[in-house]
Structures are given as C-alpha cells and as structure tokens.
Copies of this chain bind each other. A is one copy, B any other.
C-alpha cells in the first residue's frame, strides 16, 4: 500500500495534531532513536509511547528499522512535503498549478 495520496493528508494532519507526537518528531530531528530512548523523554508509559509511534508510522511520518533487540525510529521527511503543499496553496503559493 502506498501512502501519501489524497487519503494521506488526513492521517498526517491527525498525527501531528497531538502534542506528544510532535514532541517525538522534534526528538527525531537530531537523529534516529530507539523506542526506549524516545520513551525516556516522556512521563507516559512505554505502551503509550508505542501507540504514538504506531500512529506516526501509519501516517508515514517516521520509519522503523529493527536492529537486534531494539527498534530504531527515524523521520521520513518526504511526507512533510505533502503538508507543505497543502499549506502553500493558501499562502498564495501556486505550487500545484
């Protein structure tokens, strides 16, 4: 299945509308991290963090890579372009035409 289409923008915007998830994205700006490392920055349970990671992953905002005992998460920049396009359509940018 290929995300990033018309259905994708909804999932993406929903994903970034939660503060915890945005904080996760901010964390990943400085490089890939394991679920555990990410969880250390929050008071929330590991299960909660895992859920947020799952939402971000389904939205295509992050990717995961299994490395032995750990799972590394990292940003997937390409999806941000979609939001960018949606927004610039308002700010006078005729990017889609």
Interface residues of A (CB under 8 A from B): 10, 13-14, 16-17, 19, 22, 25, 29, 75, 77, 80-81, 83-84, 87-92
Partner of A84, one of B19, B81, B91: B91
With most chain B CB atoms within 10 A of its CB, the pick from A13, A75, A83, A90 is A90
Say whether, besides A13-B17, A17-B13, A87 and B83 are in contact (CB < 8 Å): yes
A25 touches B80 (CB 8 A): no
Which residues of B are found within 8 Å of A14, using beta-carbon distances?
17
State in angstroms the CA–CA spacing of A16 and B13 once bound together: 7
State in angstroms the CA–CA spacing of A29 and B97 once bound together: 15
Which residues of B are found within 8 Å of A75, using beta-carbon distances?
90
